[in-house]
Structure 1
């Protein structure tokens, strides 16, 4: 397989065939993200992608999912995406689902009908980084969309019949706006009503704008207690019809895996117990991105 630069994928795609169709991220302006710093966004040529699909056809018969890398494969023009999905269907007929990262811009550029067409060809899930539902926080981290726009694109994906997995970041608003961030994120998640929510705790990455702000003393990273309280408020304010809210990423101090609304009370009780010191938190040395 031809891989250029560092390859990233969601934790749930750990066993997927990783097919790189773009290099880097088309947005690449988030102040906290160091994944594609210094990487110029590019679309990989058709011949290389076709060769990788052929390779997967010979060597990846035990993997029944494909993840299209890198940071925003949905930005590809629809004819190109259609050709890739058709090739996957033809060459890898055992594959049951294709997934990719999406940005507000890439979703907005496609019509619901175009998204439905991709869904019919096997694109079953999109991963969207919401990070926060607070407009001030979204602006400060350079997300490129406000809360209303996030709601609109999230609903668009869902209306096309695709599963949607949304990532939110505990601590991204700093201590001062922690409560507002948690409340507004819960509100936006409720308005979108995705199938999956993944809460990660902010870990500052050297070389990013937010890391430099923190180093200069212009921004302060919340303490673990703030993150736990933030998670509790966020879950309390999130009303999903039938969704999974996971905060069990390696970056988190307290692993939570809740099926909402069924497990909401249990999750909130566990968080409150942790805030009172009754539950051991993940040691700092074991946290990772």
Structure 2
């Protein structure tokens, strides 16, 4: 396989074969993100992608490849007919594959028709990871996400209606001290409306090379303390209504690990938060990472 630059994937794709269908991020405007700043976005020629699949098959000739993740950040921006071709090649070259997944930027999802998404699902695209980041329009606008909370809901519902597994990400602390309540309540509203299979919380980390890093150094952003992150998370958990959604806050960026199923294990999650609040034992910043 041939990789360009740093390759990113969701934590749950750690054991997956990663194939770059696109390079970088088509929008690359989010003020908090430095993931693709060193790349100029492009869609790779399909023949190159197929060559990588064939190289991977040769390399893993004695290993069953159960999962394939199509990187980078915008695989769904690719024309549907081309996506269908690559999915078919994945299944032809790796007949044992059980799951094919992608990052799904909200704009890319909105540009697909329900029929296109249903066709992709039928062909074998099983799972989409969508970065909500926040459900508050004030926060989304501030971080230049490029979509509104209602557009997030529309995109998430389209993925679910197509029958794909949907995993969404929220960034704790993204609204700072000024908008933490709006961030928690807005995110709860969006997740309640979509009810994805999974919702994962990361915790904001200010990364050098981002617009937010410069804003922070100019004193324009006040970060939440670990206890304030707990308050924000608690407000989300108390406000969200997403029966059956698996909630996780166990990323390397998080101060504490949390987990449970909404809504049935709400009390369990709130109990975990309260124990952490009393103990005041948080992962040191030196051990936190994206």
- TM-score between the two structures when normalised by the length of structure 1: 0.97
Give yes or no for contact 2:132–2:170 (8 Å, CA) kept in 1: yes
Give the Cα–Cα distance (whole angstroms) in 2 for the partners of residues 243 and 168 of structure 1.
Answer: 14
Q: Secondary structure at the match of 2:28?
A: coil
Give yes or no for contact 1:22–1:43 (8 Å, CA) kept in 2: yes
Structure 2: tracts of 5 or more residues without a match = none
Give yes or no for contact 1:166–1:194 (8 Å, CA) kept in 2: yes
Q: Secondary structure at the match of 1:288?
A: coil
Deviations 1:175-234 (A, max 9, x none): 111111101101110001000001000001101000100011111211111111111111
Structure 1: tracts of 5 or more residues without a match = none
Give the Cα–Cα distance (whole angstroms) in 2 for the partners of residues 279 and 255 of structure 1.
Answer: 13
For 1:40, the equivalent position in structure 2 comes to 40
Give yes or no for contact 2:65–2:94 (8 Å, CA) kept in 1: no
- The CA RMSD measured in Å over matched residues stands at 1.0
Q: Secondary structure at the match of 1:252?
A: coil
Q: Secondary structure at the match of 1:26?
A: coil
What's the offset of the Cα at 1:279? 5.5
Give the Cα–Cα distance (whole angstroms) in 2 for the partners of residues 214 and 247 of structure 1.
Answer: 24
For 1:8, the equivalent position in structure 2 comes to 8
- Written as runs of structure 1 = structure 2, the 5 A alignment for 1:1-289 is 1-60=1-60, 61-275=63-277, 277-278=278-279, 280-289=281-290
Give the Cα–Cα distance (whole angstroms) in 1 for the partners of residues 192 and 54 of structure 2.
Answer: 41
Q: Secondary structure at the match of 1:251?
A: coil
Number of aligned residue pairs: give it: 288
Give the Cα–Cα distance (whole angstroms) in 2 for the partners of residues 143 and 244 of structure 1.
Answer: 24
Deviations 1:224-249 (A, max 9, x none): 11111111111221211211100000
Give the Cα–Cα distance (whole angstroms) in 2 for the partners of residues 257 and 273 of structure 1.
Answer: 14
Q: Secondary structure at the match of 1:164?
A: strand
- TM-score between the two structures when normalised by the length of structure 2: 0.97
